Chain A
Amino acid sequence: MKREWLLPLVLLGLLLAFPPVASATGLEFYTGLVTKIMIFALAASSLNLILGFGGMVSFGHAAFFGVGAYTSAILTREGVTSAWVIWPTAIVLCALLALLIGAICLRTRGVYFIMITLAFAQMIYFVVISFKQYGGEDGLRARRPDFGLFELNDTTLYYLTLAVLVGTLYAMARLVNSRFGRVLQAIRENETRAAAIGYSVYHYQLVAFVIAGAVAGLAGLLMAHYTQYASPNLLAWQQSGHLMMMVILGGVGQFWGGVLGAAVLLVVEEILQGFTIFWQLGVGIILLLIVLFAPKGIAGLLRRRFGS
C-alpha cells in the first residue's frame, strides 16, 4: 500500500513544481500540454471505471465529455459567469444524462451495448450541432468562469485541474476497494453468478455509469476552460474512440490505466505530429503492439516490471 503510493506522490511533487520551472525556462507551452493530459487522464479514468472495472464497453463516453464542455460554453454565453453555478449544473446535467442513457443501454449486452451507447452519443452530437445560435458545426467560444476566490488563468487552471484529478483519483481508489467496487468487479467477472447470489446487476452497473458520466462531464468542463472553446469534436465518436484508446493503452481495469494511457497517447501524438502528417499510423502501430503483447496495457507492463 505504502509503496504503491510512493511513485504517484513523487509524480505529484513534480507536477506541483512544474509550472514555475517551465515558465522560468521559457517552456510555458508545456504547462498547457500537461493541463490537457491531466484533463484527458480524468476523462479516461472515468471511462476505465465502467469499461475496465465494470466491464461495460461504452463507445459513447464523449457524449458526457462534450456536454460538460458545452454546458460551460452555453451558460457563459447566456450571461452566467459564476463557476459555482456552472460547475454543479454541468456535473448534475451529465449525471442525469448518464442516468437516462444508462437506464436504456444497460438493458443490452455485448455488441448491442457498444452500438447503442454510440448511437446515443451520435444523437447528442447532431442535436448540439443543429443549434445554430450556439455555433452549430463551428463550435462555441467558452469564456472562463468566475471563481471569486481566484482568477482563472493558465496557471491557476493547471493547479485546479491537478486538484480535481488528485481528488477524483483518490475517491476512485476508495470506490474500487469499497463494497460497491467489489460488487462492480464481481459483476464484470461473472454476471450470472452475481445475480444468483442476490445482486441487482442492472442497478449497480447503472450507478457506476452515472458516476462515470458525471466525472467525464467534469473533465469536459475543464476542457472548455482550457481551450476557452466548446468544439463539436469533443462530442464526436472519434473522441469516444480516443478515450477508449487511452484506456486500452494504459491498461483496462488497471487503476492507473486512464492516467498512463492519456499521458502516453497525448505525448506520442505530440511527438509524431512534429515528424510526419501520417502520425496516426504510428499511433495505430503502438496501439496494435500493446493489444497484442500487453493486454493489461502500460500499467500491466509496469506492474510486471516493478512488482505490485
Chain B
Amino acid sequence: MSLLALEHLTKLFGGLAAVNDCNLTIEAGEIHALIGPNGAGKTTLINQISGALQPTKGQIHFDGHNITHIPQHQRVRLGLARTFQITNLFKSYTVLENLELAVQAHSGSSLRFWSPVHREADLTEEAEQISELLGLTLRNHTMVAQLSHGEQRQLEVGLALACKPRMLLLDEPMAGMGSEESERMVGLIANLGRSPLGPAGAGVPTGQNLTILLVEHDMDAVFRLASRISVLVYGHVIASGDPEEIRANPDVHKAYLGDEGGRHR
C-alpha cells in the first residue's frame, strides 16, 4: 500500500493554478524525487502535504488517514516531517538547542511549567545523537547564525529527523551548496532512505529506511538517489517512473530536461 497518496490536488492562487489536478503516490520505503522547472509548483505541493497550505481541491492520504484538513502539527505527529527550501531555523539558538526543541515536541507533553527543561538529559542525549548523525557534533554549541550554509542545510534535515518521522519531505536540500557539501548531503539522504547507493559507510550509521519525497534541482543527485521520479510541469504530474523511464521519456525531455537530460544518457 502506498504511504502517501495525492488525489486531484489543486491549489489556486487567485486565477493561477500553482498545483493543478495533481495525482501522485509514494510507496513506503522509496526515495521519490519530484523534479520540474522553476515555478512548476513543487514547493506549493510540499506546503500542502505538510499542512502549511490548504488545498483548493483534492485530497491527501497518509498511512491510511485522510489528512487533507488536519493541522500541520498533527501531521508531524503522524510521521510526516518537512524541511524548507529557504533555510528556516531558530537562528539565535545553538545547534543542540534547535534539535532539543524538535525532540521535545515528540517526547511527552510540553505543557510543563515548572521543571527546568535544560536538566532533561534525555532530550539532550537524543539531540546529540542526531547531531552526530549529521556530522555536526563539533558545532553543538555554536549559534545557528554562525554556521556555514552547508551546515545550516544539514541542520534543516536534522530538525525534521528529530521529529521521528516515517516520511521526510525534503524541499531542495542541496540548494546553494558547493559540490563537497552536496556530496555530504547525498550521503546523508542515501543513508536515511533505502537508496540505490546503499549505506554510505564512512562512519555514518546504517540506513533508517525512511520514505523520502525529494524535491531537488541537482539532477546528478536526483538520478543517484531516487528509486522513482515524478515530473511536475505547471502543477501537473506529466510523468512518473524509475530513473531509466524518466530519462527515456520524450515528454519529459520536451518539457524539462532538455540539454541537461542529455548529460545523463
CB of A4 to closest CB in B, whole Å = 14
Kindly state whether residue B52 has any CB partner on chain A within 8 Å.
yes
Q: A174-B115, A180-B110, A195-B73 are in contact. List 11 more A-B contacts (CB 8 A).
A: A177-B118, A178-B112, A178-B113, A178-B116, A179-B113, A180-B112, A180-B113, A190-B89, A196-B159, A196-B160, A198-B81
Q: Which residues of A contact B72 (CB under 8 A)?
A: 195-196
Q: How far is the CA of A171 from the CA of B114 in the complex (A)?
A: 8
Within 8 A of A (CB), among B89-103: 89-93, 101-102
Q: Are B91 and A190 in contact (CB under 8 A)?
A: yes
Q: Which residues of A contact B71 (CB under 8 A)?
A: 200
Q: Are B77 and A179 in contact (CB under 8 A)?
A: no
Q: How far is the CA of A290 from the CA of B29 in the complex (A)?
A: 56
Candidates A174, A180, A186; contact of B90 at CB < 8 Å: A186
Binary interface profile of A, 169-206, with partner B (CB < 8 Å = 1, else 0)? 00100110111111100100110111111111100100
Q: Which residues of A contact B90 (CB under 8 A)?
A: 186, 189-190, 193
Q: Which residues of A contact B102 (CB under 8 A)?
A: 197-198
Binary interface profile of B, 104-128, with partner A (CB < 8 Å = 1, else 0)? 1110011111111110100000000
Q: Which residues of A contact B114 (CB under 8 A)?
A: 174-175, 178
Q: How far is the CA of A288 from the CA of B231 in the complex (A)?
A: 56
Q: Which residues of A contact B82 (CB under 8 A)?
A: 196
Q: Are A182 and B101 in contact (CB under 8 A)?
A: yes
Q: Is the interface of A mostly helix, strand, loop or mixed?
A: helix
Question: Which 4 residue pairs across A and B have the least CB separation, nearest first?
Answer: A198-B76, A198-B105, A197-B102, A179-B112
A-B contact list, 9 entries, CB within 8 Å: A178-B113, A178-B115, A179-B104, A190-B89, A195-B73, A197-B162, A198-B73, A199-B110, A201-B73
Kindly state whether residue B206 has any CB partner on chain A within 8 Å.
no
Kindly state whether residue A207 has any CB partner on chain B within 8 Å.
yes
Q: Which residues of A contact B159 (CB under 8 A)?
A: 193, 196-197
Q: How far is the CA of A204 from the CA of B112 in the complex (A)?
A: 11
Q: Are A190 and B110 in contact (CB under 8 A)?
A: no
Q: Is the interface of B mostly helix, strand, loop or mixed?
A: loop
* Closest partner residue, chain A, to B51 (CB atom): A195
Kindly state whether residue B50 has any CB partner on chain A within 8 Å.
yes
Q: Are A189 and B117 in contact (CB under 8 A)?
A: no
* Closest partner residue, chain A, to B92 (CB atom): A189
Q: Are A177 and B116 in contact (CB under 8 A)?
A: yes
Q: Which residues of A contact B256 (CB under 8 A)?
A: none
Q: Are A207 and B111 in contact (CB under 8 A)?
A: yes
Q: How far is the CA of A182 from the CA of B123 in the complex (A)?
A: 13
Q: How far is the CA of A180 from the CA of B109 in the complex (A)?
A: 9
Q: How far is the CA of A183 from the CA of B100 in the complex (A)?
A: 11
- Total contacts A to B, CB within 8 angstroms? 97
* Size bracket, chain A contacts: 20 to 34
Candidates B77, B88, B116; contact of A198 at CB < 8 Å: B77
Q: Which residues of B contact A189 (CB under 8 A)?
A: 90-93
Within 8 A of A (CB), among B151-203: 159-160, 162-163
Q: Which residues of B contact A181 (CB under 8 A)?
A: 113, 117
Kindly state whether residue B223 has any CB partner on chain A within 8 Å.
no
Q: Which residues of A contact B115 (CB under 8 A)?
A: 174, 178-179
Q: Which residues of A contact B104 (CB under 8 A)?
A: 179, 182-183
Q: Are B116 and A193 in contact (CB under 8 A)?
A: no
Q: Are B88 and A190 in contact (CB under 8 A)?
A: yes
Q: Which residues of B contact A193 (CB under 8 A)?
A: 84, 88-90, 159
Within 8 A of A (CB), among B39-65: 50, 52
Candidates A177, A178, A183; contact of B101 at CB < 8 Å: A183
Q: Which residues of B contact A182 (CB under 8 A)?
A: 101, 104, 110, 117
Q: Which residues of A contact B111 (CB under 8 A)?
A: 179-180, 207
Given contacts A192-B52, A193-B89, contact A199 B105 (CB under 8 A): yes
CB of A95 to closest CB in B, whole Å = 14
Q: How far is the CA of A174 from the CA of B81 in the complex (A)?
A: 31
Q: How far is the CA of A207 from the CA of B109 in the complex (A)?
A: 14
* Closest partner residue, chain A, to B108 (CB atom): A179
Given contacts A183-B101, A196-B52, contact A204 B117 (CB under 8 A): no
CB of A179 to closest CB in B, whole Å = 4
CB of B153 to closest CB in A, whole Å = 14
Q: Are B117 and A178 in contact (CB under 8 A)?
A: yes
CB of A199 to closest CB in B, whole Å = 6
* Closest partner residue, chain A, to B82 (CB atom): A196
Q: How far is the CA of A232 from the CA of B6 in the complex (A)?
A: 57
